[in-house]
Amino acid sequence: MPDLRTAGLALAAESARYAGLGWMRGTSGNLSVTLTRDPLRLAVTASGLDKGELTAADVVEVDGSGAALPGQPLAPSAEAGLHARIAAVAGAGAVVHLHMLAPVVAAERWPDGIELSDLEMLKGFGRAAHDDLVRVPVVANSQDMQVLGDAFEAGYDPATPALVVARHGVYVWGADLRQARWRAECLEWLLRFKTATPEG
């Protein structure tokens, strides 16, 4: 697993990529990488910074509850607690929280979960292109990460590496940042298709 400096370099590069796609506008969104499992430690992008301009130093090491370890000059994202919960429950090596429009629109139309099937791009999301009904869970937004974490865990399906937070954004995870990115890109395409087709 990476050290904090290596994680910071990778998180800065990924943040710039997502900002360029319009998925981390301004200071919105946050990314994390798991540093250690026992005890659980994550590197999380710092709060309040332009995600297109992060450096390797703009990350914070947090514990298994999402709280910053002592002595660090920056504050972690307010959503670090949910990153930690996903890492613990799903075993994720990286979590990306993005503000794509398609997942938020899809959650408005299907607040009980977004169903996808028979689309080739599902393979890039880690599922089968045919004969595989994928349901992406949707949870109500909250500023309390314990509440969001409980909602995530209640609907968690190990086969579906994503969670949509209504009127907020999407969390996608993977073994590392690259896999999380691939899954996020494919999910964005899938949900754009879902919301653009008349039958949904």
pLDDT score recorded for residue 200: 61
Overall domain count for the chain: 1
What is the domain extent for residue 129? 4-196
Q: How many distinct helices (H) and strands (E) make up the chain?
A: 5, 9
| Residues 161-197: tens digit of each pLDDT | 999 999 999 999 999 999 999 999 999 999 999 999 8
pLDDT score recorded for residue 167: 97
Please check whether residue 122 is in contact with residue 132, taking contact to mean a CB–CB distance below 8 angstroms. Answer: yes
pLDDT score recorded for residue 1: 79
Domain of 105, CATH number, reads 3.40.225.10
Q: Which of 39, 40, 58, 61 is nearest to 49 (CA)?
A: 58
User: To the nearest whole number, what is the mean pLDDT of the chain?
Assistant: 95
CA pseudo-torsion sign 53, 55, 57, 62: positive
Close Cβ partners of 10 (under 8 Å, ≥ 6 residues apart): 2, 33, 177
In angstroms and rounded to an integer, the radius of gyration of the C-alpha atoms of the chain is: 16
pLDDT higher than threshold 70 for residue 154:
yes
pLDDT higher than threshold 80 for residue 198:
no
| Rounded (10°) CA dihedral 32, 184, 13, 6 | 40
pLDDT score recorded for residue 2: 83
| Residues 10-69: tens digit of each pLDDT | 999 999 999 999 999 989 999 999 999 999 999 999 999 999 999 999 999 999 999 999
